[in-house]
Amino acid sequence: FSQEQIKSLKDAYKIIFLRNLTISDAVTQLKETASRYSESSPIKELIDFILSSERGIIRR
């Protein structure tokens, strides 16, 4: 992974797990975050995974 991809994934982690957002709000913010990075493929894959998940994701 490039440094930009690592930074984007750290931002995505914070959005999903550290903020008190619903999954739909988190996905919206992830899409906004992905638009800020030129190498946003990992975030887009994460968004696709969340949206295609039949059982959701677990956050604590």
Domain count, the chain: 1
> Does residue 57 fall inside a structural domain?
no
Supply angle C-alpha 18, 45, 22, rounded to 5: 35
User: How many distinct helices (H) and strands (E) make up the chain?
Assistant: 3, 0
For 34, the domain range is: 3-52
Q: Is 8 among the domain residues?
A: yes
Neighbour-count burial of 2, counting CB atoms closer than 10 A to its CB (0-12 exposed, 13-18 middle, 19+ buried): exposed
With respect to residue 18, please indicate whether it lies within any of the assigned structural domains: yes
Looking at residue 11, its pLDDT comes to 96
The rounded distance, in Å, linking the Cα atoms of 20 and 15 is 8
C-alpha distances in Å from residue 12, one per residue of 3, 6: 14, 10
60 residue type, one letter: R
Per-residue pLDDT 10s for the chain (60 aa) are: 999 999 999 999 999 999 999 999 999 999 999 999 998 899 999 999 999 999 988 887
pLDDT for the residue numbered 30: 97
Please check whether residue 60 lies inside any domain of the structure: no
Q: Is residue 10 part of a domain?
A: yes
pLDDT at 32: 96
